[in-house]
């Protein structure tokens, strides 16, 4: 049940449609495309942008972006 509460809170604070719109605006400025590796400088900038735009912590923004498939862990 804890993960459900976490997911619901993230969805309420950072609705998917608005996150994707903010991400697209940011990526147009930064010239990045596709899913970003979670450990990249581009993803760090995007996380900061989303955290500021939605007034949440960078950790919450990173989790939400990962759950939406915008950030990805490196594949081995």
Domain positions in the chain are: 2-72
Distance in angstroms (rounded) separating the CA atoms of residues 23 and 27:
6
pLDDT digits (tens, 9 = 90+) for 52-69: 999 999 999 999 999 999
pTM of the model: 0.82
Residue with the bigger pLDDT between 41 and 3: it is 41
**What are the pLDDT digits (tens) for 6-42?**
778 888 999 999 999 999 888 876 666 667 888 888 8
CB-based contacts of 51, cutoff 8 Å, min separation 6: 57, 58, 60, 61
pLDDT at 24: 87
pLDDT at 26: 85
């Amino acid at each position: 049940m804890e993960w459900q509460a976490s997911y619901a809170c993230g969805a309420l604070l950072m609705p998917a449609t608005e996150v994707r719109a903010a991400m697209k605006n940011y990526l147009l400025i930064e010239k990045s495309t596709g899913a970003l590796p979670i450990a990249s400088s581009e993803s760090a900038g995007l996380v900061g942008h989303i955290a500021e735009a939605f007034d949440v912590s960078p950790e919450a923004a990173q989790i939400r972006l990962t759950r939406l498939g915008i950030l990805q862990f490196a594949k081995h």
